[in-house]
Structure 1
Amino acid sequence: MNQEFNAHRFWETRHVELQGDHRNVGNRGLTSEQNLVLIASKAALVSHRLGALGIKPPARVLDAGCGAGVFTSMLAPIGYDLFGSDVSPTAIETAKQTGCGEFVVSSLAEVGFAHKFDAVLCLDVLFHLVDDLEWAASVRALFEATLPGGVFVIIEHFPGKGAAQATHCRWRSVEDYTVALPQADWIEISNFHYPHERKQKALLIARRTG
């Protein structure tokens, strides 16, 4: 792990460099258009699961690590009361232009909003927290921002032991999540693939029961 890595600076630089390009939060090996298809696939998956779990409009939904707000905007036609947070001021300024919700600059551990949510989403984000203490604090804070009866939805990548670590990534395990949230009721842990990507992703959903 690179102790000198600064996630806030990394993501602000990336959003400035790729403003208006969907690679700003996605796979830089794909085109902007391919990344948009990937985001739409993610929105379809997550919105379907939220509906199946009873999280229906006008439920209050937080997209933590929302980037430029493209994914968040795809949930808007469903009728959710939408909120988003990100460490990049440039990303948040772009997200505000979508007009689909309330957006603030905030770290995951600080959440950014005083109220709680029917669903907290943190999708393809938590593995970018390379510091273990920051990761654990963020997982706990986001779960605590979920209302009793609500759900905490995570998309992760679990490449397994021995996988090469990128400077801006830290691969963990399902066990790491269950240890970080011993009080969580894990109701789904399932694998899937995005369009245009071969690597397997994992959908984790915890319901807050109290």
Structure 2
Amino acid sequence: MADDTRIRVTDRTPGEYWDARHADHDDLASGGHMGLDRPGNEIFYAQRLGTLLSLVGDLSSPAAPLFALDAGCGKGYFARALARCGHRVDAFDISPYVIDHALAEGGGPRYAVATLDEWRSPWPYDIVVCVDVLFHVPDDEEWAAGLRNLASLVRVAGRLIVTDEDTAHRTTRGARIAHRPTAAYRAELEPLGLRHTLFRPYGFRENRVGFHVFTRTR
């Protein structure tokens, strides 16, 4: 007879799932590609980071740093990189475990525990980035609420940079991955004043995900 007290993966809350995933895997695999070895994930992270930094640009200076938000920051890899480039970085994640890990690493960002739809800021951001997070939100209403909240945090002429496939159809992979069509992102964001200005694929092996850039026009 099955043990009914055993918690299945699909019974976990998102926070519990990510706490367990990050605790069970190293600092790259837990937020990267669990099917890759360490060298593969090193390349995967470096390739994504290089593309992200090129999209953010080099407009920051010590006198006028960009204000950036890393939404769903994991263990802080991208947040620390943005801080090293001179940006003022806030970062949050749903997992208390990874925020503790990121705080121990230090490196400049200000970290907090929050969900995509509940983060608030007293100031707008020049850049809001959300790397490999939104397609891990399978519930469409939760996804839309998180996306709209992130959009509300972007200043006029600022950019929201999110990652997903550039596809025409919704695709699910298992219980925790749902890739939305680009049209779904546009439908949520364009009424809020954000225009889709660019898609740049990762170009890493068979991965179809890439960076969608939305620019606030009003």
Q: TM-score, normalised by structure 2?
A: 0.85
The total of aligned residue pairs comes to 204
Distance change >3 Å, CA 48–CA 162, structure 1 → 2: closer
- State the secondary structure of the residue aligned to 1:147: strand
Would you say 1:189 and 2:199 are equivalent positions? yes
CA contact (8 A) 1:43 1:75 kept: no
- How far residue 184 of structure 1 moved from its aligned partner, in angstroms, is 1.4
98, 102, 109: which is aligned to 2:117? 109
User: Which residue in 2 is equivalent to 1:17?
Assistant: 24
Distance change >3 Å, CA 114–CA 16, structure 1 → 2: farther
Which residue identity is paired with 1:190? Answer: R
Rounded Cα–Cα distance in structure 1 between residues aligned with 2:168 and 2:196: 20
- How far residue 22 of structure 1 moved from its aligned partner, in angstroms, is 1.1
- How far residue 202 of structure 1 moved from its aligned partner, in angstroms, is 2.4
CA contact (8 A) 2:163 2:211 kept: yes
Structure with bigger RCO (C-alpha 8 Å, 6+ apart): 1
Cα RMSD (Å): 2.1
After TM superposition, list the pairs within 5 Å mapping 1:169-208 onto structure 2: 169-182=177-190, 183-194=193-204, 197-208=205-216
Rounded Cα–Cα distance in structure 2 between residues aligned with 1:207 and 1:81: 19
Point out where structure 2 has 5 or more consecutive residues left out of the alignment. Answer: 1-8
Which residue identity is paired with 1:189? Answer: F
Q: TM-score, normalised by structure 1?
A: 0.88
Identity of aligned residues (%): 26
Q: Which protein is bigger by CA-based radius of gyration?
A: 2
88, 96, 113: which is aligned to 1:81? 88
CA contact (8 A) 1:104 1:112 kept: no
CA contact (8 A) 1:23 1:30 kept: yes
Rounded Cα–Cα distance in structure 1 between residues aligned with 2:148 and 2:59: 21
User: Which one is further off, 178-187 or 82-91?
Assistant: 178-187
